[in-house]
Chains A and B, each alone.
Chain A
Amino acid sequence: MSAALRKLIDALGADAVFIHEPRAVEGAKLEATLRPAGGEALAAALRLLSEEALPALVRGGGTRLGTANVPCRARVLLETQGLQEPLEIDVEEGVARAPAGAKLSALRGALAGSGWELPLDPPGSGTTLGGALAASAVGPRFASPRDVVLGLGVALASGERIRCGGRVVKNVTGYDLAKLFVGSYGTLGVIEWAWLRLRPVPEETRVCVAPLEPGADESALAAARRPSARAAAVVDAALWPEALPDGASRALVVELAGDAAAVEDDERALASALGVARAEAGAIDALRDAQGAGPLRVRIAALPGGLADAAAVLRAGGGAVLTHPARGLLWARFALDGPEDERGTEGALRAAGEAARVAGGACLLEAAPVAAREGREVFGGTSATLALERAVKRQYDPLGILNPGRFAGGL
C-alpha cells in the first residue's frame, strides 16, 4: 500500500493525496483520500489504482453514499469534486457542458437568467452532477436523468479517457454508452463531464395544494396527468405537517408549469375538481426535502395503478409515504430507534418487500444505517440478467477497482 501511495503522490502531487488513519466508510476501511484536480489527474489516478489493484470508493458530494450495498471492498476514497473544468452554456441551443464535480446548485445558479433550466432536481444539498448521474437521482420535477444526458466524458478503470454521445440533441452514432454509465453507481467508470439537454424556463409556474381524502388515488393520478403538471405528489402529513390544513392526513401538491394559458386552465380544473389552492413556490423544495429525509427510506417503482396498494401496505407497516402518481414512484420513510434498531429495520423492510410485491414493482433501499444494509440487496433482489451484467462489469472494470461490491448483485 505505501509503495502504491507513493506512486500516487508522484503522479497527482502531494496536495491531491491524503494519507490518514483507516476510516470506516460504508463498511470499508479507507486508508487514503485522492482528490484529482482534473480529468488528466483522475485518469492518472485510475491507471495507478489499476496497476496496483487498489480498489476505490468513488464519491461526489457524498449525498448518496448510503444508497449502496455494503461492505464496499475499497481501500481508498476517490473524490470527484476537483473535476471543475469551465461550464459551457449554449443559450441558442439549450445545451450545456458541465463538469462532474460541479454542484447542482452551482449549475442552477449559473443558468439563472439564461432562459434555460437544469432538468435535474434530486434532494440533497451538495449533490454533484457526476454523483446525480451515476446514481440516476431523481426529484419531484425531473425523473429521468438518462434522458437529459446527450454525451459524457468518462475515465475508465484503465485510465483511458473516453467520450460517448455528443452535444447534439439527436444521435445514433455508435452504441449509446452514456446510458450504461448513467445509473451505474460509478462501477463502470468515473464521469468527468456531461453534455446536458436543458429545458426552457416555463413561462408560468404555479404550485397548488389541497388536502386529499384517503381513497382519492384516481383523482390524484388525473391531476398528475394534467398537461402542464410537471411535479405532482401525494404526501402524508407526517412528512410535511406545516403545509397541511388542520386534521388532514395527506395532501396533493401539484406544480403546474409551461404556457401561461395552459397553467391557468389546469389550475382552474384542479380547483373545481379537488379544491386546490395556490401555495408558495417553495413548496416543491419542501417536497424534495421530504423525499430525501429519514434514517430508513425505501423507494418503490411500480405501475401507476399499483401505487395505492403499495402505499397502503407501507402505511400499515408504520411508514410515512410520498407518492408521485403519474411516474409510478413512491418513497416511504420509517422512524428508527437509533442505528442499531434491528426490530424497526426488520419491520420496515418487511413492509417494503410486501409493498413491492403487491404493486408488482421494484424496491430500492435508499437509505439505511450500514448495519441494516449488511447482508441485504439494497437494489431490490438480484437482477435476472446478473450474468450479463457481470460480463459488462468485467469488460469495463476487469480488476474491480471501482466501487467494488456497491452495486446491484454485488457488482
Chain B
Amino acid sequence: MPEGASAALLGALREIVGPGAVLSRPEDLLVYEADGLTVHGALPSAVVLPSDKTEVQRVVRACRAHGTPFVPRGAGTGLSGGAIALEQGVVIECSRLDRILRVDAENRIAVVQPGVVNAELSKAVAPHGLFYAPDPSSQLACTLGGNAAENSGGPHTLKYGTTTNHVLALELVLPDGEIARLGSPVGVAPGYDLVGAVVGSEGTLGIVTELTVRLCAAPERADTLLGIFGDVVSACRAVGAIIASGLVPAALEIVDKRTIAAVEASVYAAGLPQDAGAVLLVELDGPARAVARQLERVRALCAAAGAREVAVARDAEERQRFWRARKGAFGAMGRLAPDLYVHDAVVPRAKLPEILERVCEIGDRHRLRLSNVFHAGDGNLHPNISFDRRDPDELRRVTAAGEEILRVCVEAGGVISGEHGIGTEKRDYMRLVFSDADLAAMCRLRAAFDPDHVCNPGKIFPSTRFCMESDPKARGYDRVELA
C-alpha cells in the first residue's frame, strides 16, 4: 500500500481542479489500481480529473514541483497495464475533457478532446455521411485520447488503418508542463513527424489535450459474410487466400469454437453455429456493385478453403448482431472464468494456420482454457486464456504459456503487440523483438520529450535500468508484482 500523495501535493491539486476532482481515499483509488489487464496492479497516490488543458498543465507542474510522476488515463480499458501509476504516481484522468469541439464535414476532419468516447464521434458525424474509422472492440467505452496513446486498432483497421493513420494534429501537455501543438489539420507540417512519434507512445511523451482526426466517407454498402468452418486452421487458410487474392475486405475476423460458446451463452448471442470449429467474419464495403462482386469471390475462396457453409447477413440488423457478438466476445469470456489474459501478437498472415496450431498446442500442454477471437486479416492474434488468479499454479502456467506464444510468433517474423501496447505487461519481452541498440534508439526519443522520466515511468522498456545508457537521469524499475 503506497503512502499516498503528500498533503502539500493534494492541497495543490485541489487548488487547481477543486476538491471534488481529486481522489485520494484508498477506496476511491482502488478503481484505478489496474486497467483492463487486471493481473498487473499498482495503486496511484492520487487521481485528479482536470476539466481543461490549463488544468492539465497546472496539474503536471504541481506534480513536478513535488517530484511525483504522473500518468495520463482515458477510460482505463487498455490491456497492457499502460494506465496504471507506478512509483506512487498521480493518475491524470482525461474523462472530463469530453467535448467534440468542431466537425468540419466539407474537409472531413473533426477536432475533439481526449475524453470523447470513440463510438460517440462516429455517431456525431454520421448525419454527414462520415465516420471515424478505428473501432476497437471497447469503442463504446474507450476514449480517443487513450486510442492515440495506444495507437488502437480494431476489426476495420485491415482496410482503414489504425489510429496513427487518422490523427492529423495533437495538442499535448509536455512532461515539462509546456503546451505543444504538433502536426497540422492539413496533414503536412514543417519539421519532424512528431504526431507519428507520439501516437502509440503509451502516454510516456506527454498528455494529449486535443486531437484533430480524419473522418472517412461512409461506404455506399457494407455486407458481412459468415464463413463456417470445421476448424480454426481452415478458417486461417481462407484468410491467407483472400489476402493473397488482392481483395482488401474492411474486416476479416476469426471466432473459434470456445469463443462462440461463450458468446452464445451471453447477452451478445447472435445465433452463431455452436457446432462450428470456427467462423470467419468477412466485411466488405464500398460501392454496391463492387461489394456484390467481391462477396462472390470471397464466397468461392471460403468454399475452396473448406467452409462448410457461407452465409451473408440478411439485413443491417443481422449484420449489427454479428458485430456485437464479435466485439462482445471479451466481455462474454467473463462467463468462463474470473480472469482473462489476452495476448496480442502479430504474425505474417500466410503463417496463420501453422501458428494457430502451435498456439493451441501450447495452451493444451499447459492445461489452459485457451480460446481465439482475432483480427485474422491483420495477422493479429488474440489468444485468450481464461483462468483464476487465485490459483497460483494456474497463474504460473498462464505466464509460461504466454511467453511461449510470444516466442513462437516472433520466430515467425512477428511482433509481440499489434494494438494493445507494451505497458508493464510485455516490457520484459521487448528484447525478443529488438536489440539493445534498437531500444536505446527509442529511449532517445523518450529523452527528448521526458528527460526526467516523470511521465508514465516504468512502461514499454525492459525492467532493467535500460534507458540509463542514453539518459543517466533515467531510473530503472523492477518487475511489477503480480497481484
Q: Which residues of A contact B191 (CB under 8 A)?
A: 379, 383, 385-386, 389, 407-409, 411
Whether B413 lies near A168 (C-beta < 8 A) is yes
Q: Which of A161, A173, A303 contacts B415 (CB 8 A)?
A: A173
Q: Which of B223-231, B270-278, B322-330, B416-424 contacts A (4 or more CB under 8 A)?
A: B416-424
B245-258 CB mask vs A (1 if < 8 Å, else 0) is 01110000000000
A180-B162 contact in complex given A92-B240, A384-B180, C-beta closer than 8 Å: no
In the complex, A163 has a CB within 8 A of chain B: yes
Q: How far is the CA of A163 from the CA of B436 in the complex (A)?
A: 10
Q: How far is the CA of A411 from the CA of B194 in the complex (A)?
A: 15
Contact with B along A269-285 (1 / 0, CB 8 A): 00000000000000000
Q: In the complex the two chains form, is B185's CB within 8 Å of A303's CB?
A: yes
A179: interface (CB < 8 Å): yes
Tell me whether A380 is interfacial, beta carbon within 8 Å: yes
B8 in the interface, Cβ–Cβ < 8 Å? no
Q: Is the Cβ of B200 less than 8 Å from the Cβ of A176?
A: yes
Q: Which residues of A contact B187 (CB under 8 A)?
A: 301, 327-328
From B446, which residue of chain A is reached at the shortest CB distance? A175
B443 to chain A, nearest CB (A): 9
Task: For the complex, give the distance between the alpha carbons of A259 and B285 in Å.
Answer: 12
Inter-subunit contact A179/B290 (CB<8 Å): no
Find A176's partner among B164, B379, B435 (CB 8 Å cutoff): B164
Provide the main secondary structure of the chain A interface.
loop
- Contact call B181/A180, Cβ cutoff below 8 A: no
Decide yes or no: A147 and B422 within 8 Å by CB, A172-B417, A225-B217, A261-B289 being known contacts. no
Cα A382 to Cα B294 in complex, Å, equals 48
| B379 and A168 within 8 A (CB) | yes
Q: Which of B109, B164, B244, B421 has the most CB of A within 10 A?
A: B244
Q: With A and B bound together, what is the CA distance between A198 and B441 in angstroms?
A: 27
Check A173/B244 contact, CB under 8 A, given A303-B104, A408-B191: no
Interface residues of B in 330-357 (CB under 8 A from A): 346-350
- Assess the B413–A396 pair: CB atoms within 8 A: no
- Of B109, B378, B422, which contacts A173 at CB under 8 A? B422
Contacts of B157 in A (CB 8 A): 170
B445-A175 in contact (CB<8A): yes
B297 CB to nearest chain A CB (Å): 10
CB neighbors of B among A150-179 (8 A): 154, 156, 160-164, 166-177, 179
Are A172 and B349 in contact, CB atoms less than 8 angstroms apart? no
Q: Provide the residues of chain B in CB contact with A80, threshold 8 Å.
A: none
Does A92 contact B349, Cβ atoms closer than 8 Å? yes
B220 at the A interface (CB under 8 A)? yes
> Min CB distance, B103 to chain A, in Å?
13
Q: Which listed segment binds B: A16-24, A182-190, A290-298?
A: A182-190
When chains A and B are docked, how far (Å) is the Cα of A408 from the Cα of B194? Answer: 13
Q: Does A302 contact B (CB under 8 A)?
A: yes
Question: What's the minimum C-beta distance from A161 to chain B, rounded to whole angstroms?
Answer: 7
Task: Tell me if A146 counts as interface (CB < 8 A to partner B).
Answer: yes
Most buried by B among A161, A328, A364, A394: A328
- Tell me, rounded to whole Å, the shortest Cβ–Cβ distance linking B262 to chain A: 25
B444 sits at the interface (CB 8 A): yes
Chain A residue with Cβ nearest B429: A173
Instruction: Check: A342 CB closer than 8 A to any chain B CB.
Output: no
Least Cβ distance of A62 to chain B in Å? 22
> Which chain A positions have C-beta within 8 A of B290?
227-228, 258-259, 261-262
If the complex has contacts A146-B196, A328-B187, A389-B194, are A168 and B422 also in contact, measured as CB distance less than 8 A?
A: no
Q: Of B186, B294, B348, B380, which contacts A167 at CB under 8 A? A: B348
Chain A 238-264 interface mask (CB, 8 Å, partner B; 1/0): 000000000000000000001111100
Considering only CB atoms, which chain B residue lies closest to A171 in the complex? B415
In the complex, are the beta carbons of A170 and B200 less than 8 A apart?
no
Closest to B415 in A: A173
Contact across chains for A147 and B161 when beta carbons are under 8 A apart: yes
A361 at the interface (CB under 8 A from B): yes
Q: Mark A201-227, 1 if CB is under 8 A from B, else 0.
A: 101000000000000000000000101
Any A CB within 8 A of the CB of B468:
no
A227 neighbours in B (Cβ, 8 Å): 217, 219-220, 286-287, 290
> With an 8 A cutoff between CB atoms, is A265 at the interface?
yes
Please give, as numbers and ranges, the residues of chain B lying within 8 Å of A382 by CB-CB distance: 190
What residues of chain B lie closer than 8 Å to A394, measured between beta carbons? Answer: 448
Looking at A166, A174, A258, the one whose CB has the most chain B CB atoms below 10 A away is: A174
Partner of B445, one of A177, A184, A261: A177
**A356–B200 Cα gap in the complex (Å)?**
31
Q: How far is the CB of A359 from chain B (nearest CB, A)?
A: 8
Whether A265 and B196, one on each chain, are in contact in the complex, defined by CB atoms closer than 8 angstroms, is no
Cβ B437 vs Cβ A388 within 8 A: no
Residues of A within 8 A of B174 (CB): 388
A53 on the B face (CB < 8 A): no
Count, chain A residues at interface, CB 8 A: 80
From the candidates B151, B186, B188, B441, name the one contacting A177 in the complex (CB within 8 A).
B441
Complex Cα distance A259/B247, Å? 9
Interface residues of B in 102-124 (CB under 8 A from A): 104, 106-109
Tell me, yes or no, whether A109 is within 8 Å of chain B by CB.
Answer: no
In the complex formed, the residue of A with least CB distance to B427 is: A174
Establish whether residues A259 and B287, one from each chain, have CB atoms under 8 Å apart when the complex forms: yes
Partner of B287, one of A95, A184, A228: A228
State whether the Cβ of A304 lies closer than 8 Å to any Cβ in chain B: yes
A160-B441, A167-B348 given as contacts; is B150 within 8 A of A172 (CB)? yes
CA distance A169 to B380 in the complex (A): 9
Q: Answer yes or no: A2 CB below 8 A from chain B CBs.
A: no
With A171-B417, A175-B442, A394-B448 known to touch, is A301 a contact of B186 (CB < 8 Å)? yes
Cβ contact within 8 Å between A168 and B192: no
A89 touches B (CB below 8 Å): no
Interface pair B444/A395, CB less than 8 Å apart: yes
When chains A and B are docked, how far (Å) is the Cα of A311 from the Cα of B426?
51
A144 smallest CB distance to B (angstroms): 8
Instruction: Tell me if B194 and A385 are in contact (CB < 8 A).
Output: yes
* B192 touches which of A184, A261, A265, A362 (Cβ 8 Å): A184
CB of B438 within 8 A of CB of A163, answer yes
List the A side residues contacting B247 at CB < 8 Å: 200
Q: How distant is B304 from chain A, measured CB to nearest CB, in Å?
A: 15
Question: Contacts A91-B244, A176-B164, A385-B191: A303 and B287 contacting too (C-beta < 8 A)?
Answer: no
**Min CB–CB distance B191 → chain A (angstroms):** 4
Counting CB contacts under 8 A, is B370 at the interface? no
Instruction: Tell me if A183 and B193 are in contact (CB < 8 A).
Output: yes
Report the separation of the CA atoms of residues A174 and B443 in the bound assembly, to the nearest whole angstrom.
Answer: 10
| A167 CA to B411 CA, complexed, in Å | 12
Contact of B243 among A92, A162, A261 (CB under 8 A): A92
Check if B460 is an interface residue, CB within 8 A of chain A: yes
Minimum CB–CB distance from B270 to chain A (whole Å) comes to 25
Task: Indicate if the CB atoms of A265 and B289 lie closer than 8 Å.
Answer: yes
Q: Contacts of B151 on A, CB cut-off 8 Å?
A: 172, 176
What is the CB-to-nearest-CB distance from B403 to chain A, in angstroms, rounded to a whole number?
15
Report which residue of B174, B190, B420, B444 has the largest number of chain A beta carbons within 10 angstroms of its beta carbon.
B190
Q: Is the CB of A183 within 8 A of B192?
A: yes
Task: Specify the chain B residue showing the minimal Cβ separation from A166.
Answer: B415
What chain B residues lie within 8 Å of A162 (beta carbons)?
Answer: 435, 437-438, 441
Apart from A160-B437, A303-B185, A391-B448, list 12 A-B contacts with CB within 8 A: A90-B350, A166-B413, A166-B415, A174-B422, A175-B197, A175-B200, A262-B289, A303-B186, A304-B108, A379-B190, A380-B190, A385-B182
Those 3 A-B pairs whose CB atoms lie nearest each other, nearest first: A179-B196, A200-B246, A259-B290
